[in-house]
Amino acid sequence: MQNKVILITGASGGIGAACAAKLAPGNRVYALSRSGRAPEGSIPIICDVTDPEALRAAVDTVGEREGRIDAALLCAGCGISGAVEFIPPEEAERQFAVNFFGVDNALRVLTPYLRKSRGRVLAVSSAAAVFPIPFQAHYSAGKAALNVLMRAYGIEVRPFGIEAGSVMLGDCATGFTAARKKCEDGDELYGGRISAGVAAMERDERRGASPEQIAARIVKILSRRRLPSLRTVGASYRLLVFLSRILPIRLQNYILSRLY
């Protein structure tokens, strides 16, 4: 992908920053984040995706400066963990505000520009959308909702030449793990399963692929002649997603309960 105007949310670190760094050579990459940090070669814009007006102003700044937006990568995200029973409602709402409505806000303001360029947009999702992880229910639910949003949106805008998709990731070794907000209330009541389950999940994340490895796959997907509406990154995760289509839900739940 060369000579394109590309907008990336969540670009101050992790996968978003790695994607911005990989795409910057040969493209005009605008890196949106709350902090304003951006990889060398990209253009930083301070923006919180949960603020619709701030996001509109950021997108309009890019559109007016460049005259077009060819592609967008929606990478902004956050995580919480804990039992559904004990997670404060405001934390659950914050999870959806970033991971789901942050994408919804972006699509709303990006679409007029993507319509003009017949561009494409790719949102970062998770294999947790297919295999809901216990004690990470709101994260899993938000990513499942994100997949549905992107599929429906893609059908709506297809006549305008816009392509839309989601990429489901597995374990990634990023700052996301350390930044996760944990609620361990009720851990004793749950027999220590909350802390044990989250610890197992975080061990897997720390052993996961690097941001650079993931970014290489995402950029390859974004650059394909036809953008897939849903793609899983990593052979083992593709197998798991395939198994989710054929294994009984009861068996899937049993496996997940043993893992976490």
Residues catalogued as catalytic: 12, 125, 139, 143
Q: What string of DSSP letters covers 55-82? A: HHHHHHHHHHHHS---EEEE-----EES
The two beta strands, 71-74 and 120-126, are: parallel
**Which strand (E) or helix (H) includes residue 33?**
strand 28-33
By CB atoms closer than 10 A (0-12, 13-18, 19+), residue 257 is exposed
CA–CA distance, 138 with 90 (Å, rounded to integer): 12
Q: What is the pairing mode between strands 163-169 and 71-74?
A: unpaired
Structural tokens at position 196: 């044990």
Residues in the chain: 260
Phi, psi of 116 (to 5 degrees): -65, -40
